[in-house]
Amino acid sequence: MSTAINTPQPLSFRRYKDGDAEVTRWQDEIFDADHTHKCPTYVQSTPPCQGSCPSGEDIRGYLNIVRGIEKPPAGMPWQEYAWRRLTEANPFPSVMGRVCPAPCESGCNRNEVEDFVGINSVEHFLGEWANQKQLAYPKPEQLSGKTVAVVGGGPAGLSAAYQLARKGHAVTLFDERAELGGMMRYGIPGFRTPREVLDTEIQRIVDLGVTVRRGARIGRDFTLEQIEADFDAVFLGLGAQSGRALPVEGADAPNVVTATAFLKAFNDGRLQYTGRRVVVVGGGDTSIDVATVARRLGHIDHLHESDRPENAIAAGSGFAAHDAALLSRRQGAEVTLTSIFAIEKMQASKHEVEHALGEGIAIRGGLAPVAVLRDANGRATALRVIRCEARIVGGKLDVKQIAGTEEDIEADLIVSAIGQAVDFSGLEQLDNGKGALSADKNYQLPNRPGVFCGGDVIRPHLLTTAIGHGAIAADGIDCHLRGEAPDRRPKVDVHSFDIMRKMVEKGLPIGSITEPLLGTDVHTGAIHNYENRSDRYVISHKELFLGHFPYSARNRRNVVQLNAQEALNNFEERLIPLLEAQAQAEAKRCMSCGQCFECDNCVVYCPQTAVFKVKKSQSTMGRYVDTDYAKCIGCHICKDVCPTGYIQMGLGE
């Protein structure tokens, strides 16, 4: 079943609107007595995609490499150079290219033209290319002699281990389970994150020299005090792998389970089928995962008591995996997903919602659970819900129930996907009273020097958020191990283009930079009058010349669309990566917000020939044009025609 896609319509951008009759004299702005009013400065800003990326990827940077503007060092393929730029922040591009809900795309300024750039799909392509080429991370040239314990092998812990190992520290990673990956492995079904892909990206981190101790749980096999004594620093990436039960009467029925328990049982291979009628309560991506898994598993009629799905889900129940001989009798399950929010306001990714609807999953928004109905044996038979209006007010959830609108949804299995919780067994002293850890902006625990944390243990959120926490904490740990005070984190805390790197790659002389550089025309360390505001400023679409960008349809990945019958027992991957030409074409749709992308508009339209190209022998990406202030009259034309907002009229203020 295919889902209709609304094709965005081209927009028209005009300097003047219908009805404008007043003609202004540019000279009134340009000239003030016998001197110019303002002249151009070159300001690098953070694009909103990067500002929206919790893992802090240099998105604009690797898109400019893919499109061919920024050239790789001699002898390195552009695909590898782009992948290495991407993985400076995120070591899981192939996984995240599949499952990240991509807040970067929601923030993309291209949405003001027609449709966002498919950042996630380009990331997916680069991750797949690197896996096929079996690329590895370079090991550090020098080792620090310092040791760090990383507790938790999920996205936060693996991210921290990756960054710390690259800095030359000896990392030992502890995880309570048999395999690393955390929620990437035990929370997301394999048809969304193929296990060979996950294993490849994890092994690449381990190959940096990370020592792994599996089956080791903090609070059970060792204490925090023990590893504090044995290691120079500690990172706690405990995750939030305990599900939240439904807060309604009757929710303790045996066939009412949490989403985390359901997905873990499925990913462990214990759960092979569900009940005929499955009700999932949630509205986020996890609830969609549960619903699509339930649709694929289906149900078996005439079950023995021991074959009920809750027995396979129950942790430590002792029940073996469901009998494979029964699978030939598997039939489709009726799956209903309820959310307190309207469907269009659910937190789940829109494309995942579309896939679920296409597979015949009933999604009903604006419903709040009020009770679980049970039979004489105590098993749930239905979920009682009531219509409601939900909204976020002042950062808090406000739900208003509509009296007299209750109804019962019949169910053989009810799954609660309303959130996750941290298991603090053995670490009760660290619980801040809200079921989480408290930490400073470097993710160091208060009054516990050398102990850092990150991921869902701070607050359950996206996988990409946990990856970002691990990287920031690794920076803090590195400072701690060097005996230095942690650096103050920038306002816009993401990776960004580094002009110094390009100058070094080209062999250009560089000097030290003290920012901001205002008005320099002799400094060897920067472009003429260059200022980098990437650490504190995200550029808006209002500062771009959107008229430069013609309509360009997004290059979409192919998605295998399944109907209700086709979904049954289908655990194949649905998402097909872009081809190389498609990835390059998609990257060319990037508007390079806040950085020059060498369009030549300022050179072509300058009436005084004051703006000129830098000599090839001295130019790099970000160092493409310059201004002769002896010729500049401050006419603002270069700024007006700059598509990316890189040129600002600042000199003379």
Taking residues 268-280, what's their average pLDDT?
85
**DSSP letter for each residue of 29-56:** HHEETTEES-EEEEEE-B-HHHHT-TT-
- pLDDT for 555: 96
pLDDT of res. 301: 63
Determine the Cα–Cα distance for residues 601 and 611; give it in Å rounded to an integer. Answer: 10
DSSP H or E run through 416:
strand 413-416
Confidence bin at 132 (pLDDT 50/70/90): very high
DSSP one-letter code for 244:
P
Do the two domains 147-240+422-481 and 243-419 of this chain adopt the same fold? yes
d(CA 109, CA 107): 6
Q: Quote the CA–CA distance of 436 and 419 in Å, as a whole number.
A: 13
Residue the block writes with tokens 């004489």: 376
Lowest mean per-residue pLDDT among 13-22, 152-161, 292-301, 568-577: 13-22
What whole-number distance in Å separates Cα of residue 505 and Cα of residue 503?
5
Average pLDDT, stretch 619-624? 86
Out of 42-56, 258-272, 405-419, 454-468, least confident range: 258-272
Greatest Cα pair distance, the chain, in angstroms, is: 95
Rounded mean pLDDT, 510-539: 68
Q: What are phi and psi of 369, to 5 degrees?
A: -70, 140
Residue 531: per-residue pLDDT: 83
Instruction: Identify how many contiguous H helices and E strands the chain contains and give both numbers.
Output: 21, 25
Please write the tens of the pLDDT for every residue from 538-575.
Answer: 999 999 999 999 999 999 999 888 888 888 888 899 89
Query: Whole-angstrom Cα distance, residue 209 to residue 197?
Result: 20
Could you give the CA distance from residue 184 to residue 186 in angstroms, rounded to a whole number? Answer: 6
Q: Exposed/middle/buried for 603, CB within 10 Å: 0-12, 13-18, 19+?
A: middle
On the question of pLDDT at 3 being above 90, the answer is no
* Higher local confidence (pLDDT), 289 or 317: 289
Q: What is the pLDDT of residues 24-71, one digit of tens each?
A: 655 555 444 444 567 888 899 999 999 999 999 999 999 999 999 999
Place of tokens 């504190």: 536
Domain range annotation of the chain: 24-46+496-550+589-653, 147-240+422-481, 243-419
Residue scoring higher pLDDT (518 or 292): 292
Phi/psi at 303 (5° precision): -75, 150
**If phi over 0 gives left and psi between -120 and 50 gives alpha, with beta otherwise, what is residue 166?**
alpha
Q: Is the pLDDT of residue 514 over 80?
A: no
Per-residue pLDDT tens for 312-335? Answer: 677 544 444 444 444 444 577 899
Token digits of residue 542:
């209002």
Higher pLDDT, 384 or 520: 384
Average pLDDT over residues 204-221: 95
What is the DSSP code string of 313-358? Answer: HSTT--PPPPPGGGGGG-B--EEEEEESS-GGG-SS-HHHHHHHHH
In terms of C-beta density within 10 A (0-12 exposed, 13-18 middle, 19 or more buried), how is residue 531 classed? buried
Is the pLDDT at 153 greater than 50? The verdict is: yes
Residue 517 scores a pLDDT above 60? no
Pairing outcome for strands 575-576 and 558-559 = antiparallel
Predicted pLDDT of residue 324: 43
pLDDT reported for residue 11: 61
- pTM of the predicted model as reported, rounded to 2 decimal places: 0.88
The domain 147-240+422-481 is classified under which CATH number: 3.40.50.80, 3.40.1480.10, 1.10.10.10, 3.50.50.60?
A: 3.50.50.60
Q: What is the C-alpha to C-alpha distance for residues 309 and 273, in angstroms, rounded to an integer? A: 7
Cα angle value 523/527/528 (rounded, 5°): 70
Distance separating alpha carbons of residues 122 and 188, to the nearest angstrom:
21
Report pLDDT digits (tens) over 340-387. 999 999 988 888 898 899 999 999 999 999 999 999 999 999 999 999
Please give the single-letter amino acid code of residue 423. Answer: D
Residue 519's pLDDT is what?
47
In this prediction, residue 510 carries a pLDDT of: 72
Backbone angles phi, psi at 372, to 5 degrees: -105, 125
Please report the pLDDT score of residue 27 as a whole number: 52
pLDDT of residue 443: 96
More confident residue, 49 or 509: 49
> Is residue 258 pLDDT above 50, yes or no?
yes
Averaged over 233-254, what is the pLDDT?
A: 92
CATH class, range 243-419: alpha beta
